[in-house]
Structure 1
Amino acid sequence: MPLRSLPRANSTTMASPLPPCTAVIYSALAIVALLLLSATAVNASQGDKEPVYQDCVTQCVRTNCTGARLRGFQSTQAPYMALTGWTCRDDCRYQCMWQTVGLYQAEGYSIPQFHGKWPFARFLCFEEPASALASLLNGLACLLMLLRYRSSVPRQSPMYYTITAFSLVSLNAWFWSTVFHTRDTYLTEKMDYFCASAVILYSIYLCCVRTLGLKRPGVSSMVGVLLILAFTSHVSYLTFVSFDYGYNMAANATIGIVNLLWWLCWCWQNRRTLPYWWKCGVVVVLLHGLALLELLDFPPLFWVLDAHAVWHLSTVPVHFLFYSFLIDDSLHLLNTEKTGVKLE
């Protein structure tokens, strides 16, 4: 979730020079460095490279996933499992994963990852139950606050439609995040990654419209075109050239840092004129700071709760403060426009 809008500054504020942002920039660069260090390829992991795991899967598929055994599996499979695409081979991989984990634990070794992920206890059809629930809660929080925004802010507010569009982009991303954590497939993984990137890029557009576009519409239009080209290039590279996890992490981190610096500098400049500026600052710092939880990367507690799930759960409350800021700022812009004061 990116940040949001901003109010106008008086002529004195606008005439003052930009405050030094050196400390913020250094902090942002540190975050990018940590994220890049944490980016790893996930094509293969220690667990699925183990001969015992590979032999187990091969034997299981040969025994259970052909002929009468396969028809028997399909006839007894729960409807919700079939609807979410769980196959006999997937079931073999799941069972063999736990056999391999058991051997690792018996020998006193640390828990391995399989196919780039920690072993999770499947609940019904949910492959990563905690992350799926967290994504769903984020989506519900976003939807609830969007409805509150639309009921609190008149459509005449300058940022009304831009914020509504951003909310829809965010809802789409949380939908695909829920789907991906329910069932990890080639399609759901790509949709989760691409939709998350769309949110980050649209947040830059939102920032641009609020800080520059209300005064210079041509600037936001030009930035919008550039962001569309950037998104198209990003998706094309990951789809047709290489699905590079490290590159994807670096690209998203870079855009996120731009967003962070832009909003924090705006907050600093408007801290004396906008009483609600602190909401924007807290939201943007929380969103980027909480992302560092992923660096913990520990084996899931009770085989359910891992660092990724903790990160998503921690962002749920941020939506409420974020939209509180959007409502305050949108009403401020509307009142400023009605009084005929020049928007900044």
Structure 2
Amino acid sequence: MADRSWIVFFATFFSLIGVLNASAGDSDPEYRACVGQCEKTGCVADKCFQHCRFSSDGVPVDGPWYMQEPLYLRWKQWDCQSDCRYHCMVNREKEREIAGYKPVKYHGKWPFKRVFGLQEPASVAFSALNLAVQFHGWVSFFILLYYKLPLRQNKKTYYEYTGLWHIYGLLSMNSWFWSAFFHSRDVDLTESLDYSSAVALLGYTLILAIIRTFNVRDEATRVMVSAPLIAFVTTHILYLNFYQFDYGWNMKVCIVMGVAQLLLWAVWAGITRHPSRWKLWVVVLGGGLAMLLEIYDFPPYWEYLDAHALWHASTIPLSYLWWSFIRDDAEYRTMNLVKKAK
């Protein structure tokens, strides 16, 4: 489906290729020398940073880091090392551009220009828009079920998958929220939250794909299907966060879960007579084509817009169409059940 669920395994696969290999930029001797000098002096060329003040033995002159750099200042101004890396990268890229060279990656990332302290402003903006689309889709789904479609005598909905899609909406919004944070500031904490929320969403959407495509309505059967997958995803997230953040293993897990649910939705769209199956086909095929942006990686245009940011942009209309399919499915199932009840 068209957000950080079944397509996240593609992003994981292609983005981690750059992480697992050393980047050309941070291997550049001139860049490394600049960073080393900056961390000693607190300056890059004529630009100096007040939170990079050290004594001769390397101890901050203003006392411990928690007295010198409050958390809100660290988020707004970054810390000494990240500022040194950023400004050395900017200066080095200017030198490379004058010499006629193309941009290269630094520490696994293209050289982006900050906007209000945001590390990847375009990806942040598109992640925020995806969050807005997920919120709109979830609210419109809620309004359709409880205010437009018939309800049972006990005020519950006829649609058997109501609760499952509510959980999906919450997990999707949570995932895009942390995606925006991660792209605004790439540190260990935001990376962990982004990867963990994406894996949780991916695992849940696999469960949801199995239950919906096989039309599992019995609660006991749903528990039997969900329990082992929930246990596995939970263990995997704990392993990443508290034992070893293994990018390669996480990539394999994401690929398996992503391929499994993609195949389920594709086969179901091919054999079902659902009136809105065309929307599902558009989402599946559109999501696959959007992944070409992850394959064709290129430096950011105007220092802001790269392939990954455009991939985030492409998921916005696909996510909107996906929620449209969910609403159609709810209406289709509800009207069929109402007819049977009469």
Q: TM-score, normalised by structure 2?
A: 0.81
User: How far apart, in 1, do the equivalents of 2:230 and 2:330 lie?
Assistant: 25
| Equivalent position to 2:267, from 262, 265, 270 | 265
After superposition, residues 210-225 of structure 1 pair within 5 angstroms as 210-212=212-214, 214-225=216-227
Letter in 2 for 1:322: W
1:321 matches 2:321: yes
Contact 1:35–1:250 (CA under 8 A) maintained in structure 2: no
Which one of the candidate residues 171, 174, 179 is aligned to 2:173?
171
**Structure 2 residue aligned with 1:130:** 122
Q: Displacement, 1:216?
A: 3.9
Following TM superposition, by how much is the alpha carbon of 1:63 offset from its aligned partner in structure 2, in angstroms? 1.3
CA separation in 1, counterparts of 2:313 and 2:30? 35
Shift of 1:203: 0.9
Extract unaligned runs of 5+ from structure 2. 43-51, 147-155
CA gap 1:134/1:194 in 2 versus in 1, 3 angstroms: same
In 2, Cα distance between equivalents of 1:330 and 1:231: 28
Identity rate, percent: 36
Q: Which residue of 2 aligns with 1:239?
A: 241
Partner of 2:91: 99
Which gives a bigger RCO, structure 1 or 2 (Cα 8 Å, sep 6+)? 1
* Partner secondary structure for residue 40 of structure 1: helix
| C-alpha contact 2:210 2:261 (8 A) present in aligned 1 | no
Q: Distance in 1 between matches of 2:320 and 2:14?
A: 32
Q: How does 1:42-61 map to 2 (within 5 A)?
A: 42=19, 44-61=22-39
Stretch moving more, 225-234 or 245-254: 245-254
Q: What amino acid does structure 1 have at the position aligned with 2:206?
A: I
Cα deviations by residue, 1:157-182 (Å, 9 ceiling, x for unpaired): 21111101101000000000000001
Tell me the secondary structure at the aligned position of residue 340 of structure 1: helix
Q: Distance in 2 between matches of 1:286 and 1:181?
A: 24
Kept in 1, the 8 Å contact 2:76–2:117? The answer is yes
**Matched residue count:** 310
Take 1:34 and 1:320, find their aligned partners in 2: how far apart are those partners?
A: 20
Look up the match of 2:279: 279
Corresponding residue for 1:14?
A: none
Looking at structure 2, the residues matched to 263 and 50 of structure 1 have their Cα atoms a distance apart, in angstroms, of 46
Task: Give the CA RMSD over aligned residues.
Answer: 3.0
* Cα offsets for 1:103-138 (capped at 9, x unmatched): 333333332211110010000121000000010000
**What does the per-residue CA deviation read over 1:42-85, in whole Å, with 9 as the maximum and x for residues that have no partner?**
264221122211221121121121259976xx9xx9x9754446
Alignment partner for residue 53 of structure 2, among 52, 59, 66?
A: 66
